[in-house]
Amino acid sequence: MLLKLVFISLKYLSPSIDVAQVSFHISQIPVEPSFIPHSSSISYGDLFKWCETRQAFIATDYRMDVKAAQRLQLSAVVVQPQKIGRTFGCRLGMSREPRRLRVFISAKLSSTIRRRTATVEVACSYDNIPASILESGNHHSHLDEDLILKNRSQEIQPYLNGRCIYLVGMMGSGKTTVGKIMSQKLGYSFCDSDALVEEEVGGNSVADIFKHYGEAFFRDKETEALHKLSLMRRLVISTGGGAVMRPINWKYMHKGVSVWLDVPVEALAQRIAAVGTNSRPLLHYEAGDAYTRTLTRLSAIFEERSEAYANANARVSLENIAIKLGQRDVSELSPSAIAIEALEQINSFLKGEEGYYAEC
Ligand SMILES: Nc1ncnc2c1ncn2[C@@H]1O[C@H](COP(=O)(O)OP(=O)(O)O)[C@@H](O)[C@H]1O
Ligand SMILES: O=C(O)C1=C[C@@H](OP(=O)(O)O)[C@@H](O)[C@H](O)C1
């Protein structure tokens, strides 16, 4: 079951508190069925452990107080869940005096209860300041995402050991957007293999290379670019959507860790239709309106490539992230949320690699 809790930005601890600075980040904690939000049945110890591993926040009860939190150099969030019919609420109190933030969270168990997710409504107050003034709701503050990205990056660094990360996926899947975030957090450089090809071919755009020299020529140049990149270290590489189709390219990509950004074709078509298909020569053929045309072509291309994408070491499914975060539409997922999932999937892959347990 997923129990959603609130992460509270530590910014509020500033003595000259500005209520507008208080922000909430609703996140999800994967919890065991025994964590059903009853004060009696929640294992705080396990919840505590979960928080500790993520270095994000600490949840405890009043008696466990703040000692453990201090040990971890975190502020304590006091959670007192209570069940009220089909609704459960948590009263959160911040333990740092004299400033005391009180937050009331009421979480309605929605009709998705059978799928074991809960939607959360947040109401909050700071002393007499009404809840409506405070930033609240299903909001991901950049600060919190930044912190998570930083922590996840630190977790995988020792096991990556300077190896490159190759992002694979359909055109428009976010390889460039997400790759730039990942590279920044990992302290890696970012490289777009299409850009390397363009540079090799005298600064011609990919669309021009296709037009003047043909796709086969482009693919050869792409393989050369991947070969060059495979000799380098500490890069996040955004590969062209078709790079997965040549086995030789996998030989190069397997020198690093490959991650498939798996985005539903409908979402890809929406993104690409919004920016136009000029730079994507493989989408120039179909008739109809921009969205339908793009969707038809993308669906056919995905059909041919899905097996090849599955060769990647890790898969980042936007549908799975949306389920995890309780969002209905994958288009609501921020690039940072996707980057976080990518780092988590890389972590799982690295931990499964032979030799990991021996090293630990
Ligand atoms: N998570 C996202 N939500 C909405 N739009 C996105 C997201 N990620 C990328 N985009 C947009 O989709 C388009 C394609 O993204 P890009 O990163 O260039 O993909 P790729 O490198 O895989 O072709 C860009 O216009 C980008 O701004
Ligand atoms: O899917 C493909 O075959 C292609 C994707 C493009 O890269 P992006 O995935 O970065 O758009 C580019 O390499 C070329 O237009 C071919």
* DSSP codes of every residue in 225-280: HHHHHHT--SEEEE--TTGGG-HHHHHHHTTSEEEEEE--HHHHHHHHHHH-STT-
- Residue 126 C-alpha to ligand 1 middle, in angstroms? 38
**146 secondary structure, DSSP code:** H
Q: Helix (H) and strand (E) counts for the chain?
A: 13, 12
Q: State how far the alpha carbon of 20 is from the alpha carbons of 132, 139, 277, 332, in Å.
A: 11, 14, 41, 24
Query: Do the beta carbons of residue 76 and residue 95 sit within 8 Å?
Result: yes
What ipTM was estimated for this complex?
A: 0.98
Q: Which residues of 194-230 are buried (b: 16+ CB within 10 A; e: fewer)?
A: bebbbeebeebebbebbeeeeeeebbebbbebbeebb
Of 241, 309, 245, 243, residue with least CA distance to 277: 241
pLDDT at 288: 67
Nearest CA owner, ligand 2 atom 15: 280
Query: Do the beta carbons of residue 60 and residue 48 sit within 8 Å?
Result: yes
- Ligand 1: atom nearest CA of 167 is 22
- Residue 279 C-alpha to ligand 1 middle, in angstroms? 13
pLDDT at 169: 98
- Ligand 2: atom nearest CA of 301 is 1
Counting ligands in written order, the one closest to the CA of 243 is 2
The CA distance from 265 to 273, in Å, is 12
Query: Do the beta carbons of residue 13 and residue 31 sit within 8 Å?
Result: no
pLDDT at 130: 28
- Ligand 1: atom nearest CA of 177 is 17
pLDDT at 33: 25
Counting ligands in written order, the one closest to the CA of 272 is 1
- Ligand 2: atom nearest CA of 172 is 11
Nearest CA owner, ligand 2 atom 4: 241
pLDDT at 194: 93
- Ligand 2: atom nearest CA of 245 is 3
- Ligand 1: atom nearest CA of 334 is 1
pLDDT at 45: 44
- Helix, strand or coil for residue 164? coil
Q: Is 333 in the pocket of ligand 1 (CB under 6 A)?
A: yes
CA 187 to mean position of chain CA atoms: 17
- Residue 322 C-alpha to ligand 2 middle, in angstroms? 25
- Helix, strand or coil for residue 81? strand
Q: Is 170 in the pocket of ligand 1 (CB under 6 A)?
A: no
- Residue 171 C-alpha to ligand 2 middle, in angstroms? 5
Q: Is 177 in the pocket of ligand 1 (CB under 6 A)?
A: yes
What's the pTM value of the predicted model, to 2 decimals?
Answer: 0.65
Residue whose CB lies within 8 A of the most ligand 2 atoms, among 280, 299, 304, for a mutation test: 280
Query: And the tokens for 136?
Result: 């609240």
Q: Is 172 in the pocket of ligand 1 (CB under 6 A)?
A: yes
- Residue 328 C-alpha to ligand 2 middle, in angstroms? 28
Torsion of CA 148, 182, 176, 27, to 10 degrees: -10
- Residue 292 C-alpha to ligand 1 middle, in angstroms? 18
The CA distance from 320 to 348, in Å, is 15
- Ligand 1: atom nearest CA of 318 is 1
**126 secondary structure, DSSP code:** B
What end-to-end distance do the CA atoms of the chain give, in Å?
A: 30
pLDDT at 75: 37
Nearest CA owner, ligand 1 atom 16: 174
Q: Is 281 in the pocket of ligand 1 (CB under 6 A)?
A: no
Query: Which protein residues touch ligand 2 with a CB less than 6 Å away?
Result: 171, 175, 194, 206, 240-242, 280-282
The CA distance from 307 to 304, in Å, is 8
Nearest CA owner, ligand 2 atom 1: 241
pLDDT at 277: 73
pLDDT at 343: 97
Q: Is 191 exposed, middle or buried (0-12, 13-18, 19+ CB in 10 A)?
A: buried
Angle, in degrees to the nearest 10, between helices 335-352 and 142-160: 20
In order along its 360 residues, the chain shows pLDDT tens digits of 222 333 333 223 222 222 222 222 223 333 222 222 322 223 334 444 434 433 333 333 333 333 443 443 433 333 333 333 333 333 333 333 322 232 222 222 233 322 222 222 222 323 332 222 222 223 333 567 888 998 999 999 999 999 999 999 999 999 999 999 999 899 888 888 998 898 889 889 999 999 999 999 999 999 999 998 998 888 899 999 999 999 999 999 999 999 999 999 999 999 988 877 777 888 876 666 788 888 999 999 999 999 999 999 999 999 999 998 888 899 989 999 999 999 999 999 998 886 544 443
pLDDT at 355: 57
Q: Is 335 in the pocket of ligand 1 (CB under 6 A)?
A: yes
